[in-house]
Every structure is written in C-alpha cells, then in structure tokens.
Structure 1
Amino acid sequence: MFLRTVLHCLWIGSMTSWVRGLDFNFHDSKQIEVYLQSVSKNYSTFTNLYSIGKSVQGRELWVLVLGKYPMEHKVGIPEFKYVGNMHGDEVVGREMLLHLIDYLVKNYGADSTVTRLIDSSRLHVLPSMNPDGFEASAPPDCVFSKGRYNRNNVDLNRNFPDTFSTAASSSMQPETQAVMSWIQSESFVLSANLHGGTVVASYPYDNSNGGSELVNGVSRSPDHDVFVHLAKTYSYNHTTMHTGSQCGSLTFPDGITNGYQWYTLIGGMQDYNYIWGQCFEITLELSCCKYPPADQLADFWQQNRAALLAYMQQVHLGVKGQVLDVDGNPIPSAVVEVQGRNNICLYKTNKHGEYYRLLLPGTYTFVVTVPGREPMKRTLQIPNGPASFSALKYDFVFQSNSPTSDSVAAESCTTANHSSNNAAASLQAPHFAILLALAGAVAMSGLVHS
C-alpha cells in the first residue's frame, strides 16, 4: 500500500511538472505519453487524447485533438492534422508538435489567433507515427540511422497504396494501417507530415507514370495551384525556408518543391491522403540534420512557430457545406465536382452529407451528382476564407425527393480498384524494379528525406 501511494505521488508530481512548461529536449515515448495525458487532464474542456492504434512493439500512437468540440466531429467544423516522426530518426518535427501543443493550450483564450483556430476547427496532432524507430535511433545523426524504419525494418513512407503503381515496399505495417483507418474515420480537410534531412515544403504528386499529370518534370495534381499556395504559406511564414538554400548544394526556389520533381516516391503518405482521403497534405522538411543536438530545438521552434500556425489556418480555404434533400436531410456519398479539376478519386460527401473543398479565391463551377437525380450545377464566387477563419458556406439542396433521371453517382474509388484501374495506366513491372532499386540505393546513401 505504501509503495502504491509513493508511485501515485510520483505520477502526480510528473503530471504537475509538465504544466509548468515543456522543456527543449528530446522526449521518449513514455515521456510523451505522460505529457499528453497531463495536457488532456489539465485542459479537458478543449482537448481530448486518443490512440489510433499501436506500433509493431505495442507502443500507442497517441493523438491529441484540440477544438471547441474535442470529443466529436461537428458539421461545418473542418478537421486538420499534423503527423510527426514518420521516420524514427527524423526527430525535430516530433518535438515541434509537442511545443505546438504546449503553445496552443497556454494561449487559448489569451491570443486571438490561437483562440480562433481552436474554436473554428478541430486540430489533431500525432507527435510520433513511428515510436519504435525513434527508440532505436541514436543522437546525433545528420544523415541516416537504423531508426528510420519501423521495427519490421519497413519505410513507412513507402508503405501506402499508390495510384500510379501496383508495387509495394512490403506488407502493410500496423502503423500504416492505423493511419489509413484514421484518415477514413475522420473527414480530414488539410494535413502536413513533418520530416528532416533538408529544409523545404514538398507537395503532391510524389509519383507519376508518365501520363497527362507529368508536365515538364512536374507531376501536377488537379489542385496544383492550391498545393503551391499551401507550400508557400509554410515556407514564407518560416524564418528561412523561403530562401530556398539551407543544406549545402540543394536549392529549392521559394523553399518549395513538387515531390516527383525532387525524386520519385512510390507508396507515399501525402499522395494517399490527397487521392483516397480527400485530404490535402504536404510534406515539411524542417532540418538539415535529421537528429540534431537538443540545444538547437529552441531555435527550431522560433523558426517554425508562425509557419505551423499559418498553415493550420489554411483549413478554411475554399467552400464547405452540405448536400441536402428538400426536407433538409443530408445526402451521403453525393459526388461534388469542381469543373476543370478532374480528381482521380471523385470527392464525395460524408455521412453527414458534408463536403469541404480547398480552393483559392476565384469563380468556380460545381457539379453535384446524386443517384437518380438530375445533376445540379452552380457557379460560386469563393472569397479568402482563412482571413475570416471560415470557408464560404454553401448548401446544395435537391428540390425533389422523386427520381427525375437515370443519372447515377460515379463508382466509389477504393484502394482495391484503383491500384490497377486509375486515371493513368500503371507502370510496367520492369520500371518498378528500377525505381525501387534506385530508391533503396539513395536511402542507403542518406539522400532520401521524405
């Protein structure tokens, strides 16, 4: 009984110490767990802690969510996420996300930007997607260590389904499956994953098979303009990223790059988010050295703080709303298309009949398709949503509940049918082998970052 009391007091003491402030040091998986539990306990009115699954070695993949309604999704409030430490030896992003949490909870109600961010969106933060890899890595290491991969020696950023390729790095890992299930369970609108090894913001596509998406060496998505804007939002709010020259001979104009133009990546997470998750994601490389000395962390925080906040605010780009019937009932799985943007997987409403579409200010024509109804076409003028912390709200209401045509919604886009049947034909098998061999060689030389 005495021992139990002592242990309880020690646990309470550790929880209390976290409230006083998060230090600039590297924190192991247990310390992160205790810290997140402390935050969830002490700021319970606007935070919630949950796990999306476990690593190979059984470590929880903890996510802290911040929002006015932290426990559940609310119609009209967009979902945002940050993912850190996908490669276990790339550790700066892991600590930046912890300090972001610390900054948000301490400034909610005191700082207007922080307060509006939390009240207008639901922010999910996964500090470490690869806790096993972190525990296996060793500081300092600027180039490459065994901690890059998960415990099964798999690169998690080569482990997702790829619409341009049927090649897979290996069997799907528990960390990958956890994130895929997470993406499908929430209506995420915007995301970023944090890496290290250089300083740049990279955007989709990471892969190509030489189809119409490939233009002058750039694998362009239908939302190329939005992705360039998102990447520049981060790079120009970062203190130095926008200069484009940080790490030796590598040069990135404006501090951004198209993923494929940089190097080919098969099975990447950002393409999976965008194509199958209806979630715009970019990759943020935050440090030349993957595992720098801890005494540099305070400087990294000063470099990234404004950029992390500004990027989250972009979740309010474009337009949002519901597709409803004449009685106001939501219509799930309605297809919401923007003319001129032929997404590989058509954007569909969620179970609440909601849609979110990130678009820069301008005029766009929407076509909404519901099985058995005449398609609805509307032209909307989109304002600058992030400035007011709200995208334009527009509901598409079908005036008749009776079928008026034989029109049907497009076939559902799934990883099963799209790996071999997609908007661009699959790569040939010999090309897979060459690309994978090159990727492996580059990784071993320490040049692969994302």
Structure 2
Amino acid sequence: MAHLNSSLLIFLSLSLLQLFHSAIGRGGERDSGIVDKSYAASRRHLTEEKHFQKLNILARGYMTNSDLEKAIKAFHGRCSRISRIYSIGKSVFGVPLWAIEISNKPGKEEAKPAFKFIGNVHGDEPVGRELLLHLANWLCDNYMKDPLATLIVDNVHLHILPSMNPDGFSLRRRGNANNIDLNRDFPDQFFQMNDDLTERQPETKAIMSWIKKMRFTASASLHGGALVANYPWDGTQDKSKSYYACPDDEAFRYMAKLYSGSHYNMSSSQEFEAGITNGAHWYPIYGGMQDWNYIYGGCFELTLEISDDKWPPANELQMIWQFNKRSMLDLVASVVKSGVHGRIFSSDCGEALPASIAIKGINYTVKASERLADYHRLLAPGHQYEVMATMPGYKIRSTTIKMGEEAMTLDFILEPTDSFLPHQCYNRSSMKVLEVMSNPHSQVALTLILVLAFLYFLMKRRVIFNHFRGRKSIVQRRVSAV
C-alpha cells in the first residue's frame, strides 16, 4: 500500500511538472508578484542566453543569412534559363528578402497560375529555408527529365521566398528584430488590428506589396513545431477554439489532404485526423498571413507545419526534405492539375476582359488578370458548380460544370449590355472613366468643374470682346484723325 501511495505521489508530481512546463511553453514566463522583479529579470536573461547558446549549437550545419544569399545566387548562376532572382524588400536590419522565380519564361506575364512558398516566417523555425533551396535545386536538376518537374516549370510561375525573417533567424528567436511575431502582424478580418500602415513591420509590408503585385493563385508558408497542414480560417469572431470554415472550405480541405497524403507520415498523425486541421479549431490566431492572403490577395494559402522539432539537427535536414518533397511538388502542381481555368473575351471585338469569376453558393470572387484576362479558380473535385463571369457593362454569363480529378478549361465570351453603344469595344481607359463617372462624388466634382469651365469661358469671351471693341475704337479715331 505504501509502495502504491509512493508511486501515485511520483505520478502526480511528474504530471504537475509537465503541466507547468506546458504552460511556460505556450504562454511564456509568468510573474507571480512575489518574486523580486530584478531577480526574475536576471534569471530570464540567463535563461535566454542559455537558450541562444543551445540554438547556436543546433544551427551548426544550417545556412547563415550570408550563406543563403550565396546559395540563391549560385542557384541562379547555374539555372538562369529557367529562373530569376529578385528582392521583395528588406528586413529591419536591412537584409534583402531574396526571392526566386522558377518558370520556363521567368519574369514574363503569361496566362498561367502563380504559386509561392514562404519559409522562415518565425526566426526559430529554420527548416523551411533549407527545404526551399532543396526544392529549387531539384527542379533545376530534373527539368526536362522528370515529368512533374517539367510540368511545374512549363505551366506555373513558382516563386520561392526562403526567409521572410532573416533577422529573427540570426537572433535565434521567433519574432523579427523588433521582436514582433510576423504571423500576427497582418490586418485581421474580425478585429481592428494592424490597420495602421506605419506600425507594420517592413517584412510584413514587403509581403503585402508582393502579393498585391504578383496575383498568386495559391501558396504555402513553412513552419515547424508540429506535423500538420493547416487551413483557414485561423480565428473566430468570438475568439473561441472551434472549427470556423471559410467560403472555400472544401477546396482548402482538398489542398491540405493533398499535401498530407503525399507526405511520408503526416497523414498518419495521431493528433490530427488525416494530418490536417482548421486553424481556429487547433488554436485561434489573429493578424495571420494565411487569412489575409485569402481575403485580400485572392490567394489560397496553407500553413504547413513540416517538422515536429522546430530546430532539428542539421544532419536530419536531408531526411526531412525527402519526407516533404513529393508533397511540395504535388501542391504546386495542383494549381494546374485541378480547378477551373480560362480566359474572358468580349463578343463584339474579341478583346480580353478582366472580369470576375464567381461560384454560386460560395461567397468568394476571383478576378481575371488586367492584361491577359486569365483566371485560375481552385475547386474541390467531385462536386458540381455553377460558374459565373461578370463585368460592368456586360451581360452575366454562367455555366454548370462537374469537377473531376483533372483540371477544366472554361473560357467566357461576354456580350455588351444594351446601354453600351453598338460596336463599342472595351478598353481600360474608357472603363476607368465609366467607373469614375458612376461614383456620386465624382459626378458632383465633374459638375463643379463644368460650371467653372463655363464661367471661365464667359469671362474669356467678354475679355476678348472688350479687346476687339477697344481696337475698333482706336482704329476709328485714327481714321478720323487722318
């Protein structure tokens, strides 16, 4: 009996100790109000210093920021035919945020979908930056040799940002140089936060500008600390931990399962069914990059937790790459191997129209590109959809499709409404004028401009009239003088 009580006491002690460590891990150190604060600060500083030293040891074998830049430039040097490199901005410390584009026509605007990978969002989760260089080099080595590599290079504009947070990496901490968690720094749909542009971090601003410029169809950010494919929404309106589906929940579940199913062991997770999770159901976050991409960028993004260990020993990186390689390739290829794609034209002159594509019953719209009018709409296979194309000044066109396992091409030809003049063709400048004219404030301003122009005309006319009348009287005086 005494032995039983002793065992029970040990079990309870270990359980309490584990609970304490768990609380520290998720919430950080807590101040009880009893411990001397100067002592606590000194202790915390020592703890952080030991943690930094530990991570410094683990970082051996990982690329430094300087190594990463050299690796990116070396990659481009040997694969310049199918790549270009560029910087989307700089970190707080001024480190360039280098990106790689891989395509058979890099830098050229084409009627193709674009996909992006982002690594190292959190400074202490560096596995993604290593894997993304592996991915770039694998595509370079296997283009025109491997069918999947060739499919991706020929049909997708793939953009890779190995490190979003180089400062956090060098400091061996989660946040950036200002100690801000970059995955909480985006504007949020539920709460007024991060709305002040001047308060956002330079890394966040760079990502937002990049997304608005490039028109990505889909993307994924690579994280560490778990093994799961996470999809929107990341938060809830009432801050509860519960499943909160976005309008394209079916499509996101399909994408998440595609990644998990191709992974070596993600789909066999004991914690997450099928190795996927809705973000809010796992734990809600606000100001995340994933939701912002979907709402404001027209981009379907997953948050991929690719390693249980945030900072595994460098000798395990090759194995982790092998575990994730097929999943990464399949996810990029999905933007051309699934969903509905096409272009939109005018019936009267055949010009490309940057119309919008909507799906009946799904409150989310995808806009075609401005110049080429191509659209790429991800949809879950096995369902029937009514696809609608809309454009101001044109009649709505819709058609019903049944999505199989393969992608579908669906072009639209829109007819002008009766309010359009016969044979009037779309052009961007005229449409912008029409949009401005339809704005009530613009109409008032235009009326004032017209009134002022008319008054100016009258004044000018009167000045001219007086001028000629004066000249006439001078001539008459001169004549009489003669």
Normalising by the residue count of structure 1, what TM-score does the alignment of the two structures yield?
A: 0.76
Question: What is the RMSD of the two structures over their aligned residues, measured on CA atoms?
Answer: 2.3
* Structure-to-structure mapping, 1:8-47, within 5 angstroms: 25-47=61-83
Residue 350 in 1 paired to residue 379 in 2?
Answer: no
Residue 403 in 1 paired to residue 419 in 2?
Answer: yes
Deviation at 1:96, TM superposition (A): 0.8
Aligned to 1:278: 298
Partner-residue secondary structure (3-state), 1:160: coil
- AA aligned to 2:222 is L
Aligned to 1:143: none
Aligned to 1:88: 123
* Structure-to-structure mapping, 1:14-163, within 5 angstroms: 25-75=61-111, 77-137=112-172, 147-163=173-189
* Distance (Å, rounded) in 1 between the aligned partners of 2:61 and 2:327: 21
Aligned to 1:219: 244
* Distance (Å, rounded) in 2 between the aligned partners of 1:227 and 1:155: 25
Aligned to 1:366: 387
* Distance (Å, rounded) in 2 between the aligned partners of 1:303 and 1:120: 25
Partner-residue secondary structure (3-state), 1:161: coil
Find the partner of 2:221 among 188, 193, 200. Answer: 193
User: Does the 8 A contact of 2:236 with 2:242 survive in 1?
Assistant: no
Partner-residue secondary structure (3-state), 1:342: strand
Aligned to 2:446: none
Partner-residue secondary structure (3-state), 2:191: coil
Aligned to 1:233: 258
* Distance (Å, rounded) in 2 between the aligned partners of 1:237 and 1:370: 39
Aligned to 2:333: 313
Deviation at 1:372, TM superposition (A): 2.5
* Distance (Å, rounded) in 2 between the aligned partners of 1:109 and 1:100: 16
* Distance (Å, rounded) in 1 between the aligned partners of 2:89 and 2:194: 22
User: Does the 8 A contact of 2:389 with 2:396 survive in 1?
Assistant: yes
Q: Which has the larger radius of gyration?
A: 2
Partner-residue secondary structure (3-state), 2:125: coil
**1:399 and 1:374, CA in 2 relative to 1: closer, same or farther beyond 3 A?**
closer
Partner-residue secondary structure (3-state), 2:217: strand
- AA aligned to 2:384 is T
Q: How many residues align?
A: 359
* Distance (Å, rounded) in 2 between the aligned partners of 1:195 and 1:403: 52
Aligned to 1:394: 410
**1:169 and 1:152, CA in 2 relative to 1: closer, same or farther beyond 3 A?**
farther
Higher relative contact order (CA 8 A, sep 6+): 1
* Distance (Å, rounded) in 2 between the aligned partners of 1:31 and 1:329: 48
- AA aligned to 1:348 is K
* Structure-to-structure mapping, 1:264-275, within 5 angstroms: 264-275=284-295
* Structure-to-structure mapping, 1:247-326, within 5 angstroms: 251-316=271-336, 317-326=338-347
**1:402 and 1:331, CA in 2 relative to 1: closer, same or farther beyond 3 A?**
farther
Deviation at 1:256, TM superposition (A): 0.8
Residue 328 in 1 paired to residue 350 in 2?
Answer: yes
* Distance (Å, rounded) in 2 between the aligned partners of 1:354 and 1:110: 29
User: Does the 8 A contact of 1:374 with 1:404 survive in 2?
Assistant: no
**1:172 and 1:37, CA in 2 relative to 1: closer, same or farther beyond 3 A?**
same
- AA aligned to 2:351 is N
Aligned to 1:202: 230
* Structure-to-structure mapping, 1:160-179, within 5 angstroms: 160-168=186-194, 171-179=199-207
* Structure-to-structure mapping, 1:433-444, within 5 angstroms: none
User: Does the 8 A contact of 1:159 with 1:172 survive in 2?
Assistant: yes
Aligned to 1:447: none
* Gapped regions of structure 2 (runs ≥ 5): 1-59, 422-430, 436-482
